[in-house]
Amino acid sequence: MNKLIVSAALAAAITLGAAAPANAQAVAPAKIAIVDLDRVTKECNACKAAQGQLQQQYSTFQARANQLQTSLNPEQTYLEGQLKALAGKEPDATLKTRLDNFQRSQQAAAQELQGQQAQLQRNQAYVREQLLEKLNSLYAGVMNRHGANVMVEVGQTLASSSQLDVTADLLATLNSSLTTLQTVAPPPAQGSAAPAASGPSGR
């Protein structure tokens, strides 16, 4: 947990607070549990399975992108050669038609890949959403088992004792309560933007 640097003003406020009426309810002392969410999200069984499926989706996307590029390359090379040979002259009707058709093919390929990429981003966000929802439902139980009332991600600490670490308990609880993560997101609502891609992480 970040070390607190107490300023003179804050120290004065604390001193004044000590003069509060004796019947004011005291705040319970903090009992802290530390958890490594990076480890949890990388090592949980459902997370690893989902990551493998997302990687396969990306590989399929890459293969399709390469396939489209390969199919367009010959026509692109031909048209570039024809235009270069014209040396700035106006292309004839036949060449104009081929140029128009090629541009339409390029646009169609770009639209297809953009759609697939947006779906990949939605899938990644959907996996993260499911994982975080499940983790949020588990924190309280893990804290209760360890007598803690505060849980802090290890990345937010400067130093901590290993005795405060409850990562193994959270990981085991997650593995027993979350067997699968869906890796295909539902269709987006009309007019909604695709979410930015990011992997589950606690840092």
Report how far residue 178's alpha carbon sits from residue 158's, in angstroms, rounded to the nearest whole number.
Answer: 31
Query: pLDDT band at residue 3, thresholds of 50, 70 and 90?
Result: very low
For the stretch 32-90, pLDDT in tens is 999 999 999 999 999 999 999 999 999 999 999 999 999 999 999 999 999 999 988 99
The model carries a pTM of 0.74
Q: Determine whether 63 is exposed, middle or buried from the number of CB atoms within 10 Å of its CB (0-12, 13-18, 19+).
A: exposed
Report how far residue 32's alpha carbon sits from residue 72's, in angstroms, rounded to the nearest whole number.
Answer: 59
For the stretch 162-172, pLDDT in tens is 899 999 999 99
What is the residue extent of each domain of the chain? 30-177
What is the pLDDT at residue 24?
66
For residues 33 and 150, the answer to whether their CB atoms sit within 8 Å is yes
Does the pLDDT of residue 146 top 90, yes or no? yes
Q: How many CB atoms lie within 10 A of CB 167?
A: 19
Q: Identify the H or E element spanning 75.
A: helix 45-86
- CA 116 and chain centroid, separation: 17
Please report the beta strands in the chain, taking only residues with DSSP state E, as ranges in sequence order: 32-35, 150-153
**Buried b / exposed e across 77-107, counting CB within 10 Å, b at 16+?**
eebeeeeeeeeeeeeeeeeeeeeeeeeeeee
Residues 12-25 have a mean pLDDT of: 48
Report how far residue 31's alpha carbon sits from residue 148's, in angstroms, rounded to the nearest whole number.
Answer: 5
| Per-residue CA distances from 62 to 34, 68, 70, 144, 197 (Å) | 39, 10, 12, 46, 16
